[in-house]
Amino acid sequence: MISARAYAAATAKSPLAPFELSRRDPGPRDVLIDISYCGICHSDLHCARDEWGGQPFPCVPGHEIAGVVSAVGSAVTKFKVGDRVGVGCMVDSCGECAACTAGLEQHCERGATWTYGGSNFYRPHDPGTGHTFGGYSTAITVVENFVVRIPDALPLDAAAPMLCAGITTYSPLKRFGAGPGKRVGVVGLGGLGHMAVKIAHAMGAHVTVITTSPNKAGPARELGADAVLVSSDRAAMKAAGSSLDLIVDTVSAVHDMDLYMGLLGLEGALVLVGLPPEKLEVSAFTLTGARRIFTGSNIGGIAETQEMLDFCAAHGVQAEIEKIPAQQINEAYERLLKGDVKYRFVIDSATLRT
């Protein structure tokens, strides 16, 4: 066993605090990673406070992991000691179902093993409580097929959030053909939204940011947006009706779906990547009137995640981050609730070792 230092929530009502855990020694197909950085996703906050229900405790969040390989198993062929690598939202799947064989491991029919809070185990796993512990820690052991290579052109700290925020937005942009001649809208300009803007711009699309905050117009354009719509300006929203081909909706709160769907032209698609806890409503006439599509997307498969990293490295795209010591995680959570971050907190894992 390998001892690791971490930060964990003991209960849904507890602040995160120092925690000791054990990682498994690398098996034949395992990669042991010294974690350098871990991004803070809004999902981490939801889980640490059990806002979605069913979260096992103690909870060590973190699924935006970047680090360096420190050991490999005897049968590992993809990585060697010293490689720069990342781990995203999942660390295993059955590998046999239709979804897994199609490269959509996140939709494994038997259930993917999530990086933290996961209990669907298909191979040997870390000793402990019966569920996985995430990346707010100094080390992690992961089967090699769920590790991705971080290109040298991407700094490890800025690459960490891309293991969730990057792939979550890249996947629907690619799926719906964002590129030259395509008009793409991005709802929200937070951790997910800023990556959607950067990636869509790099793909060559015309990008419009749709926000509730007029003061985000300048930052949106700095990130690569061509236009900004303020959703509270109903006249502007009406004038922009049927002007977009694709909308990536990153908002994790209830909002007027018909208002945003109305921005889509014929056979346009709105892809939900935010995770509002409440149900969303959309009028049937909004959908049928122009054959519009209302759909969702959940991260991406391992091969697509690697593709995203390679694309971003080639196009100079990386996350905008604020690095923090582990001792400021609880403060970062409170700031995250207020939207007080541009655009992703990243934990410096070296601070866990002091």
Residues 118, 230, single domain; the answer is no
* Token duo for residue 271: 């892809």
- pLDDT, residue 108, reads 98
Residues 177, 230, single domain; the answer is yes
Residues 311, 291, single domain; the answer is no
CATH number of the structural domain spanning residue 109: 3.90.180.10
Residues 63, 117, single domain; the answer is yes
DSSP characters over 143-163: EGGG-EEPPTTS-HHHHGGGG
State how beta strands 139-143 and 30-39 pair.
antiparallel
Indicate the residue among 296, 312, 332 that finishes a domain: 296
Spatial distance between the Cα atoms of 332 and 305, rounded to a whole number of angstroms? 26
- pLDDT, residue 127, reads 86
Residues 118, 199, single domain; the answer is no
- pLDDT, residue 276, reads 87
Residues 313, 220, single domain; the answer is no
- The Cβ of residue 181 has, within 10 Å, a number of other Cβ atoms equal to 10
Spatial distance between the Cα atoms of 115 and 305, rounded to a whole number of angstroms? 15
Residues 259, 281, single domain; the answer is yes
Question: What are the Cα distances from residue 179, in Å, to 183, 189, 245, 272?
Answer: 8, 20, 11, 19
> Nearest-5° angle of CA 217, CA 220, CA 349?
130
CA-closest candidate to residue 64, choices 317, 349, 316: 349
- pLDDT, residue 180, reads 98
Total of domains in the chain: 2
Residues 157, 179, single domain; the answer is no
- pLDDT, residue 44, reads 96
Residues 175, 211, single domain; the answer is yes
Residues spanned by the domain of 256: 168-296
Start-end of H helices in the chain? 42-48, 98-101, 156-159, 165-175, 191-203, 217-223, 234-239, 257-261, 284-288, 302-315, 329-337
Q: Which residues contact 233 (CB under 8 A, 6 or more apart)?
A: none
> Residue type for 299, please?
I
* Token duo for residue 164: 């969730």
> Nearest-5° angle of CA 37, CA 43, CA 44?
50
pTM of the model: 0.96
Indicate the residue among 248, 267, 296 that finishes a domain: 296
Residues 95, 28, single domain; the answer is yes
Residues 56, 182, single domain; the answer is no
- The Cβ of residue 230 has, within 10 Å, a number of other Cβ atoms equal to 17
Block mean pLDDT (10 aa), the chain, length 354: 96 97 96 98 94 94 98 97 98 98 98 96 89 98 98 98 98 98 97 97 98 93 97 95 97 93 97 91 94 97 98 98 98 94 96 90
Bridge partner residues of 269 (DSSP): 246, 293
Report CA Rg, the chain.
Answer: 20
Spatial distance between the Cα atoms of 88 and 114, rounded to a whole number of angstroms? 9
CA-closest candidate to residue 277, choices 310, 255, 248: 255
Return the exposure string of 314-327: e unless at least 16 CB atoms fall within 10 Å of the residue's CB, then b. Answer: eeebbbbbeebebe
Residues 109, 229, single domain; the answer is no
Question: Reduced to 3 states, what is the DSSP secondary structure of residue 135?
Answer: coil
- pLDDT, residue 233, reads 94
- pLDDT, residue 278, reads 86
- pLDDT, residue 354, reads 79
Spatial distance between the Cα atoms of 310 and 350, rounded to a whole number of angstroms? 26
Check whether the bond before 37 is cis (ω within 30° of 0).
Answer: no
CATH number of the structural domain spanning residue 217: 3.40.50.720
- pLDDT, residue 277, reads 82
